[in-house]
Structure 1
Amino acid sequence: MTVQTSQYTSLITSEHQSAPNFMAMVSLLAQWAADRQNMLASIPALYDIDSAVASQLDAVGLWVGISRKLSVPLTNVYFSLDVAGLGLDQGVIQGPFDPTTGLVSLPDAQYRILLYATIAANNWDGTVPGAYTAWNTVFQPLGYSILIQDFQNMTMGIALVGPTPDAVTLALFKGGYLNLVPAGVGVAFYFEQSVPGTPIFGLDAENSSIAGLDVGAMALIVGP
């Protein structure tokens, strides 16, 4: 709730309400106090992971334990009208300090996804159901879901299901930045749909992520 100076001036007794100089002085001092209280009350929202931007989001990253700066550049993510998957709303504009070899500093939107994934990993209980719960927390608000395939040989596959992801989100996904993997287990394949927005083809299952003949589309291997 916003603090108003009237909350202070209304407490002045009636015998002093008619003294303009006194009321002006109290109002001046009360405004200073109200401004400071309102400023302090606004700080939590500035560093809320859903609304923080730029350096504020970097401060959130310090607490979470992950930086927007990448040690390995994300390649094939820069906007281009002549390359499939890098057009409008897919590719990211190369910044003035980004190397031509790839993106090394994540934009706010994709950095927020990485932060959510790191928080989910830090709170994951190590189980497959827990992985689905954690990943759904990250991806469901964006319209995506995750499928896990256990190959029974200490490796697994992960599929991203939903609309066509932007190039940076897809690069983070297939680069392993969003992984939830048990100790000793490797990710053999990353998959996405061959037809965006369509369930992945599979037998013995029928839901929003998997569908059978005439409905499901084949999964495409996108990494590693």
Structure 2
Amino acid sequence: MPNVDRYLSLVTSQHQNKPKFKAWLSAPLSMLESCSEAAENLYAHFDLDTAAGAQLDTIGQIVGVDRVVDFQPGDGSSPKLDDENYRVILKARIIKNQWKGTLPELYDIWETLFTNAFIVLQDNQDMTIDALIIGLFTDLQRDLITNGYIIPKPLGVEINYIYSENPFFSYGLSNRDFKGYGEGYWTQYV
């Protein structure tokens, strides 16, 4: 950002005491300073993590995602998304556009979008993938995932979603998301 006083201090001694010259030099420098401040503020207004309302709508137009989803959410809420959920599908769409189609990348995408949920992906080798999802989700987030707004998939591949708020049953593994006998739960397809 240009500082007018800094540039005026660079004026040679011959013109230091000339008020008209300093005024002439200050005019374009102050305009340049205003433009520079506007450009710096533009980034802050359209940062995906801090943008809200109309700013998110503008980002959505650029990315190609509408705020209104093409299904009626199961919880009876409006298909017009609030800022928090809209921000998640915007991030998901940006990541989808850069996805190379590998399963390890899907884990990275998931960790970027949902930090407190866990996903296990299994390629069934028959053009289907099982996605086991553990964690606290709202019904709207489940609907967004099930309707393909979050997890990218290759054309022709079907994803079977399995949701659980309880830890999955597993042999020999015990952590927050997987438990053994008496604590783990069996899953079912959605």
Q: CA deviation at 1:115?
A: 1.6
In structure 1, the gaps of 5 or more residues are: 77-100
Residue 178 and residue 219 in structure 1: after superposition, are their counterparts in 2 closer, same or farther (change >3 A)?
farther
Match of 2:163 in 1: 191
User: Per the alignment, in what secondary structure is the counterpart of residue 189 of structure 1?
Assistant: strand
Partner of 2:169: 201
Instruction: Determine if contact 1:193/1:218 at 8 Å carries over to the other structure.
Output: no
The alignment of Structure 1 onto Structure 2 pairs a total of residues equal to 190
Structure 2: any 5+ residue segments left out of the alignment? none
CA contact (8 A) 2:110 2:119 kept: yes
Quote how far apart the aligned CAs of 1:24 are: 5.0
Letter aligned with residue 155 of structure 1:
T
Partner SS for 1:148: strand
Q: TM-score, normalised by structure 1?
A: 0.68
In structure 2, the residue matched to 1:211 is: 179
Going from structure 1 to structure 2, the CA distance change for 1:152 and 1:33 (only over 3 Å counts) comes to closer
Identical-residue share of aligned pairs (%)? 29
Name the Cα RMSD after superposition.
3.0
Structure 2 counterpart of 1:145? 118
The TM-score with structure 2 as length reference comes to 0.78
In structure 2, distance between residues paired with 1:41 and 1:155: 46
2:82 corresponds to: 107
Task: Map 1:96-175 onto structure 2 (within 5 A).
Answer: 102-140=77-115, 143-151=116-124, 153-162=126-135, 164-175=136-147
Matching residue's letter, 1:11: L
* Alpha-carbon displacement from aligned partner over 1:151-194 (angstroms, at most 9, x marks no partner): 555433323333x2344323312333212333333223331223
Residues 202 and 211 of structure 1 are in contact (CA less than 8 Å); yes or no, is this contact kept in structure 2? yes
Question: What per-residue deviation string (whole Å, max 9, x for no partner) do you get for residues 57-114 of structure 1?
Answer: 22322332222221222231xxxxxxxxxxxxxxxxxxxxxxxx54222112111111
